[in-house]
Structure 1
Amino acid sequence: MDFELRILGSSSATPSANRHHTAQILTIGNQYHLIDCGEGTQMQLMLYKIKHQRICNIYISHLHGDHYFGLVGLLSTMHLQGRQLPLRLFGPPGLSEILTLQLRYSGTNLSFPIHFQELDTTQYFKIYEDKQLTVHTIPMEHRVPCCGFLFREKPKPRPLIKEKLPKSLTPPQLVRLKWGEDIKDEQGAILVANKEVTNEPKRSRSYAYCSDSRYKPAILPYLHHIDLLYHEATFANDLCERAEYTFHSTARQAAQIALAANVRQLIIGHFSVRYKDLNPLLEEAQAVFPKTDLAIEGSIFCIRE
């Protein structure tokens, strides 16, 4: 099953000629999860041939325009193209009111239902779950209510070794073996030991999106050993005082979070428009955490099982 991230936008508050506002697509299996939706997101979806009708969930981290100004346009296009499938939308207080006003005064009655969940951005809390995935909020520290999102695959079943299975096993017993149980008799004696007839399950994967925030080590417990971490890095560390004042982070600070959390890979983004060349930011982060990459538009990060 696919588990990959596509970067659609990596700029901070002001866009530049070659960098768009924040947006990402996380593909898990056959579902698209859109994370933030800055201005121009639907144009980026078209550029990279991502079918927006396959988007099942949209997550908005906070209500600064570079993270959601593209949302009403995308919803309108979905409507104009006849979407019928429900859409799940997660966002901070105020987002529902904003969308209601925009749609009301444009005379737009969407052709599909939106299931909106207002987020408490101060809590680590499970907001979504299906058969394969859970999504939790990560409380960030920004000028307005803001949260990140943690995506985790659920534990996977153990593959059965067919040639080692007794022929007398029933379908329910096979299911129990897949989920790590031994088969026992009524007295509790083991008839079939799970480890003797199954292999280790495939690894469950994880991705954390840490949106706009001051350097916040308090989030480390939520990030330990995840596969892929995106953390904003608006400034280089020579502007760490400005980062603190504007509730943003530096490239070095993002790398310090990745190192302390022992993640597999770090992506930095949300770059200030002042940086025409991003290599100094990359080098600053890699000096602390070598497995760092830039969130460049069009980049794909695959997480293998």
Structure 2
Amino acid sequence: MESMNVTILGCNSALPVIDRFQTSQIVHFREKMFMIDCGEGAQIRMRQLKLKATRLNHIFISHLHGDHVFGLIGLISSLGMTGRTADLVIHAHPDLEKLLQPQIDYYCTDMNYKVVFESFDPRKHALIYEDRSLRVTSIPLKHRVPTSGFLFEEKEKPNHIIREMIDLYHIPLREIPHIQHGADFITEDGIVIPNTQLTRTSLPPKKYAYCSDTAYSKRITPWIEGADVLYHEATFLHADILRAKTTGHSSAFQAAEIARDAHVRQLIIGHYSARYAQIEDLLQEAKSIFPNTQLAYDGLNIQI
């Protein structure tokens, strides 16, 4: 299976703090980079972490609150200054094009590349990106404005054929793709060799789920079921649950409940309110429900 990992560029909520910028992440897969959200400071973190923006071709925007999009125009402008020619595709609510295109037209008149807007409805669960090895689906979330999470899912690969079996049974090259997809092999003597003797099962496809910003919502659990890693916002401690409900956010306790109920392997919490000087309290609250929980921090790299 191909390597998949996630780099946190920013993990705070609307008010950035000295060591935590606003929300942004990079998903790395098969030499490609996909950005999720682009809060202020995203391009600075990319430079600090020596991430090559030339590999970035797709940006997924969860919703149109400023702490998730205010870094876009700066990043777009900087990419133009580096001589970029490849299109940059932004997947987002249709209103983003209306808001951002005038800024591009005003500030980025000499760019040599195009910004392409691919709109989707954040209120619907749908396939919004696909290539040969990866698919991205939207996850409708519960927030004050239309908001979507994202599931990055590696496509299933065919079984691995055992090299020794090819030589042993003199299997022609034309038969290998059929065997990898489950076919048995029949020798020239008419002997049927079961597929189970010829192949090894591939590893399960990797899954990364991103759910921010959102109030507690049980309906997302089927869409993120069994994810290897779930990033779920934990803006507040449960003692501030009334504030969480008012603002359309979750507590660390609720994020852990979602992770537990969806049977994910690991939970990463983030999008912290600036009111908390000690975010470790959020971690302890989540761990009381879901032990395999980790705090997000700027620069964290998560292997999927």
Fold conserved (TM > 0.5)?
A: yes
Deviations 1:63-107 (A, max 9, x none): 001001001111111111111112221011211111211012225
| Aligned residue identity for 2:63 | H
1:204 aligns with 2:199: no
Q: Which residue of the partner structure matches residue 258 of structure 2?
A: 257
Residues 138 and 151, structure 2, Cα contact 8 Å, conserved in 1: yes
Give the match for residue 170 of structure 1: 172
C-alpha displacement at 1:211, in angstroms? 1.1
- The amino acid of 2:7's aligned partner reads R
Identity of counterpart residues, as a percentage?
A: 41
Would the aligned equivalents of 1:79 and 1:111 in 2 still touch at CA under 8 Å? yes
Residue 294, structure 1, aligned to residue 295, structure 2: yes
- Distance apart, 1:156 and its partner CA: 1.4
Task: Return 5+ residue gaps in structure 2 as ranges.
Answer: none
Q: Which amino acid aligns with 2:91?
A: F
Q: Is the 8 A contact 1:207 1:227 kept in 2?
A: yes
* Offset, 1:169: 2.9
> Is contact 1:151-1:207 (8 Å) kept?
yes
Asked if the contact 1:243–1:249 (Cα under 8 Å) also holds between the matched residues in 2, the reply is yes
SS in structure 2 of the partner of residue 7 of structure 1: strand
After superposition, what is the alpha-carbon deviation per residue over 1:110-152, rounded to whole angstroms, capped at 9, x for unaligned? 3112332111011110011111111000000111111000010
Matched, 1:115 2:113: no
Aligned residue for 1:117, secondary structure, equals: strand
* Residue 184 (structure 2) aligns with: 182
Equivalent runs, 1:168-247 vs 2, <5 Å: 168-183=170-185, 191-247=192-248
C-alpha spacing 1:190/1:221, structure 2 compared with 1 (3 Å): farther
Moved more, 132-141 or 171-180: 171-180
d(CA) in 2 for partners of 1:17, 1:72: 22
Contact 1:177 1:183 in 2 (8 A): yes
Consecutive unaligned residues of structure 1, counting only runs of 5 or more, are none
SS in 2 for 1:14: coil
Describe the superposition over 1:9-36 as per-residue Cα deviations: whole angstroms up to 9, x where unpaired.
Answer: 0110111111100000111120011110
1:148-193 deviations in whole A, cap 9, x for unaligned? Answer: 00010011121111111255433331011122232469xxx88332
Q: Does 1:138 pair with 2:153?
A: no
Change (3 A) 1:70 1:193: same
CA distance in 1, matches of 2:30, 2:200: 23
Mapped to 1, the partners of 2:282 and 2:108 lie a distance apart of 45
**49-58 or 99-108, which deviates more:** 99-108
| Deviates further, 47-56 or 161-170 | 161-170
Number of equivalenced pairs? 300
Higher mean C-alpha displacement, 253-262 vs 96-105: 96-105
Contact 1:142 1:212 in 2 (8 A): yes
Is 1:36–2:37 an aligned residue pair? Answer: yes
